């Protein structure tokens, strides 16, 4: 009876997916960790059919649905298809892994700095260029423009269609909110990923994303990808079958609640318990917190980011919820990206208003901390807070002067990303209660002050928004079928909107034509 049971239980390995799906020859990151999905992957031996692709290790984990294999890509290996044999006593399976030739790096991986002006887009709310992807079978949400928190249909094709409009405005760099798959409810924003290697099909395809980057580059525009290291979406397939028991910080049933204290993370006097609450707490109950201290998770995240950069030719990364992830991991992550792409830039979203606690997040900080972050740029919430107080609450302009007077705390104040509003904050026109004069004064100050200015889509026509995310991320008029007017055109804008558009366009041109304004 025992022999019969063992005969039934014995099964050969079966692989259904490999991540990353491919790699490139000539990468500095040439020791790769392959994550295999499938069945009966426990106690498997792995043999490479080519000595140039060397198997270094097979990690022992308890879950037979996954295998983690370390391989080294030899210096003299050619692009092509390479075979790995997975062997067990009860059978074997051969899998193919593709190594590609790297593209010419000219015009790619450019980075961004104070000579650039960033245009931030909530893709779902910008313009719908392909109505055939509004409804996708198997995805949890389809089109519902009546719901301010639902899918409205904006996509990558829509941005491609408006690249000339964006170029004409004068900005140099596009930052999209995340475009990877978010197969969950109310996830149009992109921050609840369910597949890290796939563009959400309601936005387009991986190939279309690459085409978008290429089309932007052909017009002299750069592209920043929004990325999340801290968490995933609750509907990610991992949640039903975690690769390892410690893949997450906590579990769906038992996890630390959100803790938004961030100032302690680089305070040498803070206690480990408080720091742990910040990095181990879940951002929300539907965004499970990844455990970056797990070396398998760490490698997965680093390789995923490198993969997207190399695949698409990106120029920069904006990393979401930066203080909430393990800080030592983030330092390694930054170093890996900048070692591979020396001209690249990374901006971390650090929502801290006090410059004394914000500055330690930037690399090279002379403020006391346990290690260097290696992070080139951070979001300047200190200056943003001053802008809001002056233009939104009527405080003296000296409030902005006091904020700028703290620049000595930053190793590179010119490299901070500055802004009046973004996808998480009330629009500046709402802050000034529709006062166009104050609105223009705020834009003047943003574009004539140090840093890398970021403009939120719709600011060029004075979009008002509101106090909730649905209205902050409102649809751009004219971007969607059935819209009564097209504000992408002068004839579709009101006289006031045309005045604002022309004012901002001239202000951008002024900044870009004077070196002193870009310092």
Q: What is the C-alpha separation between 249 and 295, in angstroms, rounded?
A: 14
> Which residue, 420, 418, 422, 421, is CA-closest to 450?
418
Q: Give phi and psi for 71, each to the nearest 5.
A: -130, 155
Active-site residue, from 141, 349, 421, 460: 349
Are β-strands 91-100 and 118-121 bridged in parallel, bridged antiparallel, or unpaired? unpaired
Q: Is 206 helix (H, G, I), strand (E, B) or coil?
A: helix
b/e code 115-148 from CB counts within 10 Å (16+ = b): ebbbbbbbbbbbbbbbeebbeeeebebebebeeb
Q: What is the C-alpha separation between 474 and 411, in angstroms, rounded?
A: 37
Are β-strands 452-456 and 417-419 bridged in parallel, bridged antiparallel, or unpaired? parallel
DSSP state of 122: -
At 297, list the tokens.
């998770």
Active-site residue, from 200, 226, 289, 320: 320
**Residue 320 is among the residues annotated as catalytic for this protein:** yes
**How large is the C-alpha radius of gyration of the chain?**
24
Q: How far apart are the first and last CA of the chain?
A: 79
Long-range contact list for 94-99, CB < 8 A, 24+ apart? 94/49, 95/15, 95/18, 95/36, 97/18, 97/22, 97/23, 97/34, 97/53, 97/71, 98/21, 98/22, 98/23, 99/22, 99/23, 99/24, 99/25, 99/53, 99/73
CA angle 373, 376, 378 (to 5 degrees): 90
Contact residues for 396 (Cβ-Cβ < 8 A; gap 6+): 390
For helices 206-218 and 295-312, angle between their N-to-C axes, nearest 10 degrees? 50
Q: Give phi and psi for 405, each to the nearest 5.
A: -65, -15
| Residues labelled catalytic | 320, 349
């Amino acid at each position: 009876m025992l022999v019969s049971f063992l005969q039934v239980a014995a099964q050969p390995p079966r692989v259904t997916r490999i991540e990353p799906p491919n790699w490139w020859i000539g990468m500095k990151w040439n020791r790769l960790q392959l994550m295999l999905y499938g069945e009966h992957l426990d106690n498997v031996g792995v043999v490479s059919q080519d000595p140039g692709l060397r198997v270094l290790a097979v990690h022992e984990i308890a879950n037979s649905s996954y295998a983690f294999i370390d391989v080294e890509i030899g210096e003299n290996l050619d692009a092509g298809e390479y075979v790995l044999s997975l062997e067990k006593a009860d059978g074997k399976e051969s899998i193919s892994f593709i190594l590609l030739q790297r593209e010419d790096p000219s015009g790619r991986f450019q980075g961004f700095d104070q000579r650039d002006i960033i245009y931030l887009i909530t893709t779902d709310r910008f313009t719908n260029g392909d109505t055939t992807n509004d409804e996708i079978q198997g995805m949890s949400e389809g089109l519902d423009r009546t719901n301010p928190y639902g899918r409205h249909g904006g996509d990558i094709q829509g941005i491609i269609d408006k690249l000339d409009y964006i170029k004409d405005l004068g900005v140099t760099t596009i930052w999209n909110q995340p475009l990877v798959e978010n197969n969950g409810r109310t996830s149009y924003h992109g921050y609840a990923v369910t597949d890290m290697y796939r563009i959400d099909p309601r936005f387009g395809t991986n190939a279309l994303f690459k085409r978008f980057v290429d089309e932007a580059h052909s017009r002299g525009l750069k592209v920043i990808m929004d990325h999340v290291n801290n968490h995933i979406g609750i509907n990610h397939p991992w949640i039903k079958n975690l690769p390892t028991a410690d893949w997450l910080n906590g579990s769906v049933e038992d996890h630390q609640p959100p803790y938004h204290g961030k100032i302690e993370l680089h305070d040498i006097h803070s206690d480990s318990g408080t720091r742990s609450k910040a990095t181990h707490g879940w951002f929300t109950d539907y965004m499970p917190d990844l455990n970056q201290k797990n070396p398998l998770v760490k490698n997965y995240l680093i390789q995923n980011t490198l993969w997207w950069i190399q695949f698409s030719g990106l120029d920069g990364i904006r990393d979401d919820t930066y203080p909430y992830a393990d800080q030592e991991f983030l330092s390694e992550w930054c170093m890996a990206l900048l070692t591979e792409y020396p001209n690249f830039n990374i901006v971390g979203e650090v929502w801290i208003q006090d410059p004394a606690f914000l500055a330690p997040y930037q690399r090279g900080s002379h403020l006391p901390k346990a290690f260097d972050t290696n992070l080139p740029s951070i979001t300047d919430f200190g200056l943003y807070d001053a802008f809001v107080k002056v233009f939104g609450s009527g405080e003296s302009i000296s409030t902005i002067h006091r904020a700028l007077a703290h620049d000595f705390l930053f190793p590179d104040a010119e490299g901070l990303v500055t802004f009046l509003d973004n996808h998480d904050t009330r629009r500046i026109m709402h802050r000034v209660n529709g006062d166009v004069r104050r609105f223009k004064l705020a834009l003047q100050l943003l574009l004539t002050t140090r840093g890398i200015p970021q403009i939120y889509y719709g600011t060029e026509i004075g979009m008002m928004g509101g106090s909730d995310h649905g209205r902050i991320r409102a649809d751009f008029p004219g971007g969607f079928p059935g819209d009564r007017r097209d504000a992408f055109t002068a004839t579709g804008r009101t006289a006031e909107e045309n005045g604002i558009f022309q004012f901002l366009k001239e202000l951008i041109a002024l900044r870009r034509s004077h070196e002193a304004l870009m310092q």
